[in-house]
Amino acid sequence: MRFAAVIVAAGAGRRAGGDTPKQWRSLGGRPVVLWSVEALRAAGAEQVIVVASMEDRDHASTVFGGLPDVQVATGGAERIDSVRAGLAAVRPGVEAVLIHDAARPFVTSACVHALLAALETADGALPALAVSDTLKRADEDGVATGTADRAGLWRAQTPQAFRRAAIEQAYAAWPDGEIPTDDAAVLERAGGRVQLTPGDPMLMKLTYPEDFPMAEALAGAARITRVGQGVDAHRFGPGDGCWLCGVLVPHSEGLVGHSDADAGLHALTDAMLGAIGEGDIGAHFPPTDPQWKGAASDKFLLHALELVHARGGRVLNADVTLICERPKVKPYRAAMRQRLAGLLDLPLDRVSVKATTMEEMGFTGRREGLAAQAVCTVETPA
C-alpha cells in the first residue's frame, strides 16, 4: 500500500524544559524529529511531511534539505491545525497516511508494517499497549478517592495509520473549536473502524525533562552498526594516469575497465552495499550496460550512499587500502582522503586511505595491475 507520513513537530514542548522545543533537541547526536523521519523513510514512506512552526520552518528546511521526498509544511496554533496542514500536502495517488508525533523517536519498520496490514480490513489503526498499572482517582490534594477498572483500557501510541480518504473526510467533518485527543478519535467520531495493533514500549513519548536521559540510554538500542567489505582489481593498459579514490594519479599506464576503473571507489562501493545487504556493484551497474562506459565511479558510490540514506542509515567511517607497486600513492593520499570525505559528507578523521605492496609477488607485484580493499561501517535503524 502506497503511504505517506505526516510528522507533527510544531509544538513548543514546554513541559520538557530547556530553551529548545523537544523535537529539535539532540538525541544520540541528531535532532529528535530526525529519528522518526529516517525510520519512516526506511519503512517505505514515499513522502514524509514534517509540520513545523513558522519560527522553526527555516531550521527544519536546513535539517531535512538533503533528504529526498521530505518536505516541510507550516503548522498552526493547535495540533489539529498542523495535522490538517500535513494532510493537505500529501501527494495525489497516496492510499494511506501515517500521522506521527515528533516526540516519539523510536518508531520501527515492524510497527509501520503492522499498521499497514491492519488497514486491509480497517479505516484506521494505531499501536497500543494494554494498561498494566492500577489506576487511581484522586482529589485536588492528591488523596486517593477510588480505583478505576482497567479492563479494556489501552495506551494509544503513534504513528497512527489511516486510509487517506477516510481520515480526510473525518477531519473535514470535525466540529470547529473542539480539540481531539488523537487522530483516531477524529475517525471514530466519523464512524470509522479503528484497529489496535501491538504497541512498543520503545515508542515512549518525550514529555518531561527526566524522559531525555532514558531516551539517550535507549538510543543505542534503537540503532545497529553494520560492517561491509569490498575488493576490486584492474589490470594496467594504455594511458597516462589512474583514477584512484576519485583522484587522477599520473602514471605511465592507465587502468582497464568499463567505467573509469577506479578500484578504490569500486571496493568502497561494494563495502557500502554489503553493509546494507544490497548485493554488489555489478548488480546495480552491469558492465554490459553501455551507459556506464567510461563513467566516473563517484556516481556508483553516491548511489550506494543514497541507498543507505533511504534505509534511514548513515555512514560512520570508511577505510580503503590500495595494493600496488606503482604508482606511488603517498603523494596523493591526502587528496584522496579529502575527496572521499566530501563524497560521503564525513569528517576527515573518519576516512582512511592506505597503500601497501605485495613485495613483488602476484599480479600486483609483477606490475600487471592493482587491487583495492575497503571496509565501511554503517549505522541503520534496528
Q: What is the pLDDT of residues 326-346, one digit of tens each?
A: 999 999 999 999 999 999 989
Q: Where are the beta strands (DSSP E) in 10-104?
A: 26-27, 30-31, 47-52, 70-74, 96-101
| Cell reading at 109 | 519498520
At 357-372, the pLDDT tens digits run 999 999 999 999 999 9
Cα(280)–Cα(260) distance, rounded to whole angstroms? Answer: 17
User: 14-45: buried (b, 16+ CB within 10 Å) or exposed (e) per residue?
Assistant: eebeeeebbbbbebbeebbbbbbbbbbbbbeb
- Please report the pLDDT score of residue 270 as a whole number: 97
List of the chain residues with pLDDT < 50: none
Residue 1's pLDDT is what?
86
* Residue 26: partners with Cβ closer than 8 Å, 6 or more residues away: 32
Q: Is 86 helix (H, G, I), strand (E, B) or coil?
A: helix
State the pLDDT at residue 31.
92
Question: How far is 374 from 354, CA to CA, in rounded Å?
Answer: 10
How confident is the model at residue 229, as a pLDDT? Answer: 97
CA 201 – CA 367 distance, rounded (Å): 59
Do 305 and 315 contact (CB within 8 A), yes or no?
A: yes
- How many degrees, rounded to 5, is the angle at CA 341 between CA 340 and CA 343? 60
Separation of alpha carbons 281 and 274, rounded Å: 10
Sketch the domain layout of the chain as residue ranges.
3-219, 224-381
Residue 183: alpha-carbon gap to chain centroid: 25
pLDDT of 287 = 85
- Residue 156's nearest CA partner among 194, 118, 210, 108 is 194
Q: So what's the pLDDT on residue 380? A: 84
Q: Which helix (H) or strand (E) holds 7?
A: strand 3-9
Helices 79-88 and 164-173: crossing angle in degrees, nearest 10, is 140
- Max alpha carbon distance in the chain (Å)? 90
**Fold of domain 3-219:** Spore Coat Polysaccharide Biosynthesis Protein SpsA; Chain A (3.90.550)
Tens digits of residue pLDDT in 234-264? 999 999 999 999 999 999 999 999 899 999 9
Cα(114)–Cα(117) distance, rounded to whole angstroms? 5
Tell which CATH classification among 3.30.470.10, 3.60.15.10, 2.40.290.10, 3.30.1330.50 matches the domain 224-381.
Answer: 3.30.1330.50
Burial track 292-321 (b if 16+ CB lie within 10 A, e otherwise): beebebbebbebbbeebbbbbbbbbebbbb
**Cβ atoms of 327 and 253 closer than 8 Å:** no
Digit-coded pLDDT (tens) for 57-67: 899 988 887 78
pLDDT tens for 155-180 read 999 999 999 999 999 999 999 989 99
